[in-house]
Amino acid sequence: MNQTESKYILEMHHISKSFGGVSALQDVSFKCSPGTVHALVGENGAGKSTLIKILSGALKADSGEIIFKGKNHSSFSTREALNQGISVIYQELALVLQMTVAENIFLGREPRNAFGLVDQVRLRSVAQDLLEQLGIKIDLDIEVGDLSVAYQQMIEIAKALSKNADLIVMDEPSAILAGSELEQLFKIIQSLVKGGVSVIYISHRLEEVFKIADVVSVLKDGQLVDTKPIKELDRSQLVRMMVGRSLEEVFPVSTHQPEDIILEAKNISTDTILNQVSLYIRKGEIVGLAGMVGSGRTELARALFGADMLASGSISLKGKQIFLNNPSDAIKKKVSLVPEDRKQQGLFIELPIRNNISMSILRNISLWGFLNWKKEKEIVELARKKHSIAMVSGNQEIQYLSGGNQQKVVLAKWLQTRPEVIIMDEPTRGVDVGAKFEIYQLMRQLNKEGIAILMISSELIEILGMSDRILVMKEGSIVAELQSSETSEEQIIEYATTK
């Protein structure tokens, strides 16, 4: 094997990856030099997570190769990656909450003494050193679950440091850090880099990228747009690289004017990140809700649907305040939520299509509790025609349908309750182009009937193409309200990422 001293510590060549026919990464080539901070940016769904997972060995690329420290690693396992010196800190913290700080730092790699026992002394002293390096004052014996999320993240960083990694990937490390904590993080990164470690830094906060990174790579729609030293770019250039695209997809035109306000939220806050959110939705309108991952969009949807409790604030429907203690209340008030993850939250995967479609309106198709199968069949048939769902029969189990058709079933289910307000969380995720367009048409149709739609989406094109108004969320609050005709992808990203 040719161990030529390559200029790069990491090279990823022509990486491609698809999930079930939908392409996540296409021919991405990416090089990282030793001792640098290399930022990776891109909007939601651009492929950053997939790329990182491939790098860490959690996923295998369909094609392409990875060369790390001169060696070819096309089929990593996570263990191998770790041993080679690649360490990833994911956004979803990989900590065992019931174990202590010290234990978590060394999880899986506990130092042993001569007898194969845990060398407590070494464990603690090394852990202590690491924490001091990071400037964190935490008791080593606290259970990690008792710490705030910010501290938990710091423990993760300490963990990565303890692995003597040559390459550390940080996936949104600053998402919950603020002020001085962030400064600390940067100091650590800089000292790491001086020591020859390379850092791949993924973040939505572009000002951080400008502060800490040496080089930046931009991913868009699964492809690498470019890699450039940060000095050569300014903010607007960077944003344009992230989102600039031509409107290839055609969206059905809106023929309807919004009417009166139907749903209004005033200063709602929840335990789940929402902070003093106020908004209103009008009849016949589509309001797009944009924001980065973690900004609180799904939490807002859940709060409006009664799936999460409000800590403060109020929601009014048609002028009257309503109290939603559970989804059942919301449904009665004619509010529906089409959830983000249809497999986990929207469908009963082993049950037949007709069960799924009729689940919210069982009352309508039954008399004294007994189901009227004929009526159900009619409803299913109507839904099939209306949404062009490709299925063999109403008895077919939903797991056998394609993603697009499954989503249609979910929509059909919710439309059965004749809602006046529909909240859609990523309505076209994992759906093919043809079905997407059908869903858009459906949304326009609903608008025409006076139904209000709040649409959460990570596809800015979709938000721009379908919404009348756009709300941008960041860290639990709404930071901007834009008219879709007057704004652009760049502007939305600006709002979503500015500090």
Q: Which of 298, 316, 295 is nearest to 307 (CA)?
A: 298
Query: How far is residue 258 CA from its own chain's centroid?
Result: 30
CB of 351: closest distance to another protein in angstroms? 6
Spatial distance between the Cα atoms of 118 and 111, rounded to a whole number of angstroms: 6
- Which residues, 6 or more positions from 311, have their beta carbon under 8 angstroms from its beta carbon? 269, 270, 271
> Does the protein bind another protein through residue 21 (CB under 8 A)?
yes
**Binding flags for another protein, 43-72, as an x/- string (CB under 8 A):** -x-------------x--------------
Q: Name which position in 41, 59, 89, 95 contacts another protein (CB under 8 A).
A: 95
CB of 137: closest distance to another protein in angstroms? 22
- Residues 66, 59 contacting (CB under 8 angstroms): no
Spatial distance between the Cα atoms of 74 and 412, rounded to a whole number of angstroms: 44
Which 424-483 positions form the footprint of another protein (CB under 8 A)?
A: 432-435, 438, 456, 458
Q: Name which position in 26, 33, 272, 488 contacts another protein (CB under 8 A).
A: 272
Q: What three-state secondary structure class fits 58?
A: coil
DSSP 392: S
Which CB atom, from 232 or from 350, has the smaller least distance to another protein? 350
Contact stretch for another protein (CB under 8 A) within 32-40, 111-119, 191-199, 217-225: 111-119
Spatial distance between the Cα atoms of 31 and 38, rounded to a whole number of angstroms: 9
CB of 297: closest distance to another protein in angstroms? 6
CB of 234: closest distance to another protein in angstroms? 28
Report how far apart, in Å, the C-alpha atoms of 394 and of each of 45, 374, 383, 397 are.
Answer: 33, 12, 11, 8
CB of 38: closest distance to another protein in angstroms? 23
Which CB atom, from 33 or from 366, has the smaller least distance to another protein? 366
Which CB atom, from 109 or from 418, has the smaller least distance to another protein? 109
> Does the protein bind another protein through residue 103 (CB under 8 A)?
yes
CB of 127: closest distance to another protein in angstroms? 13
Which 116-135 positions form the footprint of another protein (CB under 8 A)?
A: 116-118, 120
> Does the protein bind another protein through residue 98 (CB under 8 A)?
yes
Q: Which of 125, 207, 209, 195 is nearest to 164 (CA)?
A: 195
> Does the protein bind another protein through residue 245 (CB under 8 A)?
no
Which CB atom, from 269 or from 345, has the smaller least distance to another protein? 345
Q: How do 71-72 and 63-68 pair as beta strands?
A: antiparallel
Report how far apart, in Å, the C-alpha atoms of 70 and of each of 5, 7, 8, 125 are.
Answer: 7, 9, 8, 34
Which CB atom, from 22 or from 309, has the smaller least distance to another protein? 22
Which 293-322 positions form the footprint of another protein (CB under 8 A)?
A: 293-295, 297-299, 305, 307
> Does the protein bind another protein through residue 350 (CB under 8 A)?
yes
> Does the protein bind another protein through residue 349 (CB under 8 A)?
yes
**Binding flags for another protein, 371-400, as an x/- string (CB under 8 A):** x-x--------------x-xxx------xx
Between CA 233 and CA 237, with CA 234 as vertex, the angle to 5 degrees is 80
Q: Name which position in 325, 328, 441, 483 contacts another protein (CB under 8 A).
A: 328
How many residues contact another protein, by CB under 8 A? 90
Tokens of 320: 């009257």
> Does the protein bind another protein through residue 360 (CB under 8 A)?
yes
Spatial distance between the Cα atoms of 151 and 145, rounded to a whole number of angstroms: 10
CB of 214: closest distance to another protein in angstroms? 28
Q: Which of 454, 412, 438, 154 is nearest to 304 (CA)?
A: 454
Helix H or strand E encompassing 361? none
Spatial distance between the Cα atoms of 24 and 47, rounded to a whole number of angstroms: 6
Region class of 459: left (phi > 0), else alpha (psi between -120 and 50), else beta: beta
> Does the protein bind another protein through residue 75 (CB under 8 A)?
no
> Does the protein bind another protein through residue 108 (CB under 8 A)?
yes
Q: Which residue has the tokens 């800590």?
A: 311
Which CB atom, from 62 or from 432, has the smaller least distance to another protein? 432
Which 175-214 positions form the footprint of another protein (CB under 8 A)?
A: 175
Q: Name which position in 47, 222, 258, 404 contacts another protein (CB under 8 A).
A: 404
> Does the protein bind another protein through residue 42 (CB under 8 A)?
no
CB of 375: closest distance to another protein in angstroms? 12
- Residues 216, 233 contacting (CB under 8 angstroms): yes
Q: What three-state secondary structure class fits 16?
A: strand
